[in-house]
């Protein structure tokens, strides 16, 4: 007899965790909050994940496991490597819909930095994002969207600008975050875009000289060499 299928999957529960994290600090978040959001009882969370710490760690691991797939999705959706790159970071900002959610994010980030097990997962996230971003930059060079450059260093700079952009937006609070991310990354990439640095200068063709009657007189004009030869021959 096959086991009874779970009505609520682990992925659905972890998605509920992410939503609750947007409106609760690590101290305020409870298993009851997550259970209510996911439509299950707290005992289900304890049975599957154990403690609140283990639930948060599972959520962190889940996002890390999905990063490569998210990059593949934007590459498939957008023909331009640079467009795909920008849209990945813009789309990743969706979970920070309000300045308050940024504050909560920073609170969870403290756990990521201070708990060794969380930090190992966070580091893996950063490494994967950097590697995938570098691939898209390499692709952009291959299709002549981007000038040849150190794509590893540029990918790192993109990560740094993206992180700073979130804080900048939370302070200024003007417009949606994804707009800020797109604007900041476009500004960063603009000097590297091949289209902005390889403008071909159009040279107007030189028209042949014409006389008063409009006729081409270029062939009737003696060159310097022919004049010298004529003078030399006369002297002979």
- What is the Cα–Cα distance from 5 to 14, expressed in whole angstroms? 18
Residue 203: inside a domain, yes or no?
no
- What is the Cα–Cα distance from 23 to 16, expressed in whole angstroms? 12
Cβ pair 137, 156 in contact under 8 A = no
29-70 tens-digit pLDDT: 999 999 999 999 999 999 999 999 999 999 999 988 999 899
CATH of the domain at 142: 1.10.357.10
Q: How far is CA 19 from the centre of its chain?
A: 23
pLDDT tier at 93, thresholds 50, 70, 90: confident
94-147 tens-digit pLDDT: 888 889 999 999 999 999 999 999 999 999 999 999 999 999 999 999 999 999
Residue 42: inside a domain, yes or no?
no
Residue 84: inside a domain, yes or no?
yes
Neighbours of 138 (CB within 10 A): 14
- What is the Cα–Cα distance from 132 to 216, expressed in whole angstroms? 62
Residue 118: inside a domain, yes or no?
yes
Per-residue confidence (pLDDT) for residue 233, from 0 to 100: 44
The total number of structural domains in the chain stands at: 1
Whole-angstrom CA distances from 144 to 5, 45, 198, 230 are 50, 50, 10, 55
165-206 tens-digit pLDDT: 999 999 999 989 999 999 999 999 999 998 644 543 333 344
Residue 36: inside a domain, yes or no?
no
Could you list the residue range(s) of the whole structural domain that residue 178 is in?
A: 56-196
Residue 205: inside a domain, yes or no?
no
Residue 36: phi and psi, rounded to 5, are: -65, -40
Residue 69: inside a domain, yes or no?
yes
pTM over 0.85: no
Per-residue confidence (pLDDT) for residue 211, from 0 to 100: 53
Residue 154: inside a domain, yes or no?
yes
């Amino acid at each position: 007899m096959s086991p009874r299928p779970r009505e609520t999957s682990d992925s659905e529960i972890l998605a509920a965790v992410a939503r609750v994290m947007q409106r609760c600090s690590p101290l305020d978040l409870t298993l009851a909050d997550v259970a209510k959001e996911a439509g299950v009882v707290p005992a289900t969370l304890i049975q599957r994940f154990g403690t609140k710490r283990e639930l948060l760690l599972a959520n962190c691991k889940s996002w890390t496991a999905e990063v490569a797939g998210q990059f593949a999705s934007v590459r498939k959706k957008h023909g331009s490597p640079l467009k795909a790159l920008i849209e990945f970071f813009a789309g990743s900002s969706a979970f920070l819909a309000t300045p308050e959610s940024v504050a909560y994010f920073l609170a969870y980030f403290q756990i990521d930095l201070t708990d060794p097990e969380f930090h190992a997962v966070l580091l893996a996230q950063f490494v994967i994002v950097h590697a995938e971003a570098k691939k898209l930059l390499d692709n952009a060079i291959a299709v002549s969207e981007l000038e040849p450059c150190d794509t590893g260093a540029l990918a790192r700079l993109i990560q740094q600008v993206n992180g700073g952009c979130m804080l900048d937006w939370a302070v200024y609070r003007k417009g949606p975050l994804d707009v800020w991310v797109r604007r900041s990354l476009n500004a960063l990439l603009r000097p590297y875009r091949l289209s902005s640095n390889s403008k071909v200068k159009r040279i107007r063709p030189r028209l042949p000289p014409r006389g008063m009657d409009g006729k081409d007189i270029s062939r009737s004009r003696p060159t310097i060499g022919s004049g010298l030869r004529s003078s030399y021959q006369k002297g002979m």
